[in-house]
Structure 1
Amino acid sequence: MLWGVVHTKGGVGKTTTSLYLALAAHRRGVPVRLVDADPQASATMWASAAVRAGHPLPFAVEPYSGAPRAKSGELILIDTPPGQADVLQEVLDCVDVAIVPTAASPMDLERVWPTLEVTSHLPTVVLLTQINTRARLVAELRELFEEQGVPVAENFIRHKEAFKQAWGTTPADLAGYGEVYDEISEALKWH
């Protein structure tokens, strides 16, 4: 199974989402790899820093070199770059699902729509990230997307300073990504 973590804008949490979902899969006994398709190589740098700190990630992080192939029972998460249409399209042509993390800022939300246009040919779910705990905002965002027929993950990721501090480590707390992983996995069983 291949999951693409995509958004045409940077800074919305693609690398964090990719890494935490890979960690959630690993903790559930699923063989997993993270493929870093972003030229900034943030996931690769995170993995290298974790090795230097003496706590390597429990899964491989490898550079993107064309469409990867998953072994039986394996999950591959692909962390994509913002604004590189050729790489993004190549990734979207090989994945089984697109996960579109987005923060609640007007700019991030505005850029979701072009992203959804390029993912329209495959199952796609919007994941609300960096959300303050205001339940009303989450409900409003969910309603905004659902009115347009866009699936939104029931679970969302709260804004936490701990995400910044987790860079270069193997995070102990999945901070909501375990529930997101379970939700997406369960939904895909029905497709």
Structure 2
Amino acid sequence: MKIALLNSKGGCGKTTSAMFLAQVAAHRGHRAEVWDSDPQASASRWAEAADLAFEVVPANIATLRKPAGDKYVFIDTPPGNPQIITAAAEAADLVVIPTMASMADMDRTWATIDALSGIGPVAVMVTSAETATRAYRGLVETLEAAEIPVLPPIRKRSTFREAWGQAPTHLWGYTAVLTTIEEALSA
């Protein structure tokens, strides 16, 4: 199974989500990898500083096409490289677009969704979610009206800013996200 985490906007939680989802998969006994296709190599640098239950490997347009085999592969992508974003989307079984519930984030999220039209299944995951706000509820309603699947939210927590360089121990909603992904892909 290959899941590409992508958005043409930076800072929306792609790397953090890839790392946490890989940790959930590893906790469930699956072989998991994060393929780091971001030239900034944030996932790779995170892995160098942490003792993880999964591997992080560099990836490029050519290696993104490799089959996942029996692994759960989470592809971390850069924000501003349309060639890598497209290659990751084409290689994935599902594209997850992390976003925050702000106008600036959603502007780039809609552009990302439009750019991926016809490539494959897409779902949106709201990160740093404040689920009691009008902004969050309005975003979810708008996505659902457009028939874009919405994954369980990842609530806003300061611990995500502190997680870099450590093996995730508290999975803060990512267990529900992976369960939803597995159910969608097995249907």
CA distance in 1, matches of 2:174, 2:116: 22
Name which of 160, 172, 176 aligns with 1:163.
Answer: 160
Amino acid at match of 2:120: L
Q: Deviations over 1:116-166 (max 9, x none)?
A: 02322211100011112425443321101111221111x100111101111
Aligned to 2:128: 130
**C-alpha contact 1:98 1:119 (8 A) present in aligned 2:** no
Q: Can you list the C-alpha shifts for 1:20-62, whole angstroms capped at 9, x where unaligned? A: 0111111111111100000011001110111xxxxx1111101
CA root-mean-square deviation: 1.2
Uncovered stretches (5+) of structure 1, i.e. residues with no partner: 51-55
- The equivalent position to 1:108 in structure 2, one of 105, 109, 117, is 105
Contact in 1 for aligned 2:140/2:150 (Cα 8 Å): yes
- Do the aligned residues in 1 keep the contact of 2:131 with 2:137 (CA within 8 Å)? no
Equivalent position of 2:86 in the other structure: 89
Residue 140 of structure 2 is aligned with which of 139, 142, 151? 142
TM-score (norm 2): 0.93
Answer whether contact 2:128 2:155 (CA < 8 A) is retained: yes
Residue in structure 1 matched with residue 40 of structure 2 by the alignment: 40
Which of residues 28, 52, 56 is equivalent to 1:61?
56
Q: Matches of 2:15 and 2:72 in 1, distance apart?
A: 16
Write the distance in 2 (CA, Å) between the matches of 1:118 and 1:97: 15
Rounded to whole Å, the distance in 1 between the matches of 2:185 and 2:82 is 26
Residue equivalent to 1:20 = 20
Could you tell me the percent identity over the aligned residues? 38
What amino acid maps onto 2:16 in structure 1? Answer: T
Note the residue ranges of structure 2 that are not aligned, 5 or more in a row: none
